[in-house]
Chain A
């Protein structure tokens, strides 16, 4: 078959401009897919890690009747004696930090306007809030004994025209169903890098939040941060107890992960469309080549080349084209992904418009070798499959008709 490789390779050099453009089409198509998939993988991982870092953490322990979407403050729905759960968690080697949290819906009002947001009563000394502590951009972080201060997202403060030191009013419904309101001073502003989070979150010290909502020392959940997220299942199992539910980051982000799964279906469709375009270009190039070389195919048939050998020769030509195009595409794609892993892609207002997706302001692409390999192999398969028709067409030419083609 060496002769077939030789002819196939040299045929590619015959019309160099056409070969170059076809090669570029394959390369750019694959490079686009690699960059896009690297970018999508970056968005997924970024969103998931933001969700874990700022919202869910790796494991949560809640009362078994607690429903996160209702943010109930009724005592039966809260963790009784959260300090005991925290103490138990902190004995485990896999646990990096654990802290109770109290969640409640709240209405924040200034003189001019009001906005609904989520109140987090937090144990301010816990390292679990290091990401927020380090994200303070104006004023200061809360202190545990602060009874009249709160922390706001900078984006929300800007939209409300509120500054550090200003007073705002918080209104909520306590554990007994009684509306309560209180004045707070804005101690500091944070910018977590996730715009949707910064727009809808307010922090109070846990003790103040507990007294305001009349829940005693109860908490909505105990948040647990692990050294490695792979340990979530074992920690979750170890903390299981009567009237408690333990949830891992997978369960806590199940809706997000399912949504992403559905979104990936769309990207698969996009991948398919790009591959189809590559296939059409390859098929067109090879069909043109067959039309141009009809008489030559007749000559090869007259020398005794069988239909299978003619088919094979043209498939080899397509394979070479696809291999070279794919190699170039992988190089270009990896270079593009490398650039996006270094410099990232500034999402800006797009991140804010991403609904509940906790997207960072700057998203970095990720290297996902399995996906890149999968895309390359499929591009090769699609390219070679696309050449089947032109190759079959050439192989079916009657030698005598091919010889007399003009």
Chain B
């Protein structure tokens, strides 16, 4: 069943006189529980596509359907509701709130969603355990390594049990071992929770984890390929 559908989505960025067509009539759908890599060179439109799907930005034309609603027609506050309820984000730059410790960072989406204290604590601790950070939960981001910070970000993205997690170059700032660990965790949580993962990458080693790849070039989908099962890094 498709959880997200894009229909002829286009986006043009203008800087002075220069126009850059970041997305060009992209039509695409994503199923529940899938583990998909958007691949392609820099400037191919991967990040823009994630921003559109994540309701962080709006296309110039086209429709994006999620939860039975065309998000393009929603107000800023309704799109914020959608982000809070069904979308998790993992960014390349870890993106933790620096004044909160690991536990509080993971807990924050639940606070914003109004989840009760006891359930909030149970789910936060469970997620921290799932990313093997229970012993570091009272450390602030500047006291954690890059790999640990990204694991906190993964836990934060998943703690609210979203429909989909959007990960933009999640391993780009990690060394090989930490990158592999982060991908292993994401794949395991995808299998355990059924949450769909869509991650943008141009790292061929990371693409190996995907069960589906969507190839993008110049703002268009050039090819799609289903992989029987994700393989481990070479």
- A residues sitting closer than 8 Å to B (CB atoms) are 2-3, 6-7, 10-11, 13-14, 295-296, 299-309, 398-400, 403
Which chain A positions have C-beta within 8 A of B108? 3, 303
In the complex the two chains form, is B112's CB within 8 Å of A296's CB? no
Known A3-B111, A400-B56, A400-B57; judge A302-B89 contact (CB<8 A): yes
Indicate if the CB atoms of A399 and B98 lie closer than 8 Å. Answer: no
* Number of B interface residues in the complex (CB < 8 A): 29
Chain B hits for A306, CB < 8 A: 76-77, 80-81
Q: Please provide the chain B residues from 101 to 127 with a CB less than 8 Å away from any CB of chain A in the complex.
A: 104, 108-109, 111-113
Known contacts A302-B83, A303-B109, A303-B112: A296-B57 contact under CB 8 Å: no
Do B51 and A303 touch across chains, with their CB atoms under 8 A apart?
Answer: no
What chain A residues lie within 8 Å of B54 (beta carbons)? 302
Question: With A296-B97, A403-B91 in contact, do A301 and B80 touch (Cβ < 8 Å)?
Answer: yes
Counted as pairs of residues, one from A and one from B, with CB atoms less than 8 Å apart, the total is 70
Residues of B within 8 A of A308 (CB): 77
A305 B95 Cβ-Cβ under 8 A = no
For B34-70 the 0/1 string (1 means CB < 8 A from A) is: 0000000000000000010010110000000000000
Q: How far is the CA of A354 from the CA of B3 in the complex (A)?
A: 83
Chain B nearest Cβ from A293, distance in angstroms: 9
Q: How far is the CA of A295 from the CA of B96 in the complex (A)?
A: 10
Contact B57 A7 (CB under 8 A): no
CA–CA, A307 and B156, complex, Å: 21
Residue of B nearest to A296 (CB): B97
**Contact among B57, B97, B112 for A304, CB-based, below 8 A:** B112
- B98 and A296 contact, CB distance less than 8 A: yes
A299 — nearest CB in chain B belongs to which residue? B95
Q: Kindly report which residue of chain A lies nearest to residue B156, judged by CB atoms.
A: A303
Neighbour of A7 across the interface among B80, B95, B97, CB < 8 A: B97
B84 beta carbon closer than 8 Å to chain A: yes
Q: How far is it, in angstroms, between the C-alpha of A11 and the C-alpha of B98 when the chains are bound? A: 9
Contact of B104 among A6, A301, A307, A400 (CB under 8 A): A6
| Nearest-CB residue, chain B, relative to A14 | B99
Contact of B99 among A10, A302, A304, A403 (CB under 8 A): A10
The residue that B56 contacts in the complex, of A295, A307, A403, with Cβ under 8 A, is A403
**Would you call A303 and B84 a contact (CB within 8 A)?**
yes
Cα-based distance from A3 to B100 in the complex (angstroms): 10
Asked if B28 is at the interface of the complex by the 8 Å CB criterion, the answer is no
Interchain Cβ contacts under 8 Å between A and B, 28 examples: A2-B111, A3-B111, A6-B100, A11-B99, A13-B99, A295-B95, A299-B96, A299-B97, A300-B97, A301-B83, A302-B54, A302-B56, A302-B89, A302-B95, A303-B109, A303-B156, A304-B80, A304-B85, A304-B109, A306-B77, A306-B80, A306-B81, A307-B76, A399-B56, A400-B51, A400-B56, A403-B56, A403-B95
